[in-house]
Amino acid sequence: MRNCLTVDVEEWFHVCGVNGALAFEHWPRLPARVVDNTRDLLDLFARCGVRGTFFVLGWVAERYPELVAEIQRAGHEIGSHGHLHQRVYELTPEQFIADLTASRAALAVAGCEQIIGYRAPEWSINERSLWALDHLVRAGFRYDSSMAPMRIVGDPNYPQHAHARSTSAGELIEFPPLVARRFGQNMPMGVGWGLRMTAPARVLEIIETRNRDGVAVAVAIHPWELDPDPPRVKLPLSKRFAHYFRLAGFRGRLECILREGTFAPMGEVLGLGGACQQRQLLSQHAVDVGAGGRDNGAPATAEGTTLPVTASS
């Protein structure tokens, strides 16, 4: 069974709820690392033969459109991570729509006009912001990955598997991050500090158990987690823990998971594909065939299966 490999493409200083040195007005003057870190991640994915979904922040796409193009050329799916990295439940519906519109406009300029997947910063679609799901459907999104079955950011009672949610505008598929029971509560297992602190063998064991039950899972990482020398700033204790805990050696631990697990973009796992990703794969397929490669009627994925050619291609 294929599981979802996802990346939230943002800068190291995109931390929700923090002012001072990391306030929005300081972003243009802070050292930029996202391009180099994302390229490192792309190289790692290529070496491991995996593809994923890159939820790109509009602010990043606006400044580095070529980075979005590089991600697409590597065969990955592009999704939206919003524009200014704001918690959805702290926005009004009008502000959310404006942020979503700006994000999609930046991604369109970068060459990806048809976006079907969304992930909110800090898993911030919860009981305080369920109205956002209606707006995602109206904007043409087909799936969301923003509702975490954990305390603080979400609700432990949320489903731990991909499921359809009804909205006033139609149906939307929700795909939560991987969590596991630890210390009597749901803890992050496929994302952030929970992923970084857990031995790869344990992560793979949990994934295999879910897969045996017929459940695909989602793993989420950030480019800054692979930075060999991340900038250090003073943060509140909880933020400092989430941002810096056990970064050392994470690249190697992640590589073990990527080599032993089976991963694909979220749109593919859901059977939806991704318009930009499919178009890029088809284009590369045509180049390969034109150069004398073998034409099997559809572009091969990193897993060696084939991607069906659909109307959205």
Tokens standing for 156? 């432990």
pLDDT at residue number 293 = 35
161 DSSP 8-state letter = S
- Confidence at 275, pLDDT banded by 50, 70, 90: low
The residues that bridge with 137 in the sheet, in sequence order, are none
Give the pLDDT of residue 241: 85
Q: Which residues of 33-43 are buried (b: 16+ CB within 10 A; e: fewer)?
A: bbbebbebbbe
pLDDT of 301-312, one tens digit each? 333 322 222 222
Q: State the pLDDT at residue 242.
A: 85
- Per-residue model confidence (pLDDT) at position 295: 32
**pLDDT for the residue numbered 309:** 22
Q: Are 110 and 68 in contact (CB under 8 A)?
A: yes
DSSP 143: E
pTM of the model as a whole: 0.87
How many residues are recorded in the chain?
A: 313
CATH of domain 3-283: 3.20.20.370
pLDDT, tens only, 194-220? 999 999 999 999 999 999 999 999 999
Contacts of 261 (CB under 8 A, 6+ apart): 3, 204, 207, 219
DSSP 114-157: ---EE--GGG--STT-THHHHHHHHTT--EE----SSTTTS-TT
Q: What is the dihedral of CA 300, 113, 192, 2, to 10 degrees?
A: -30
Residue type, 1: M
> Residues of the chain with pLDDT > 90: what percent?
77
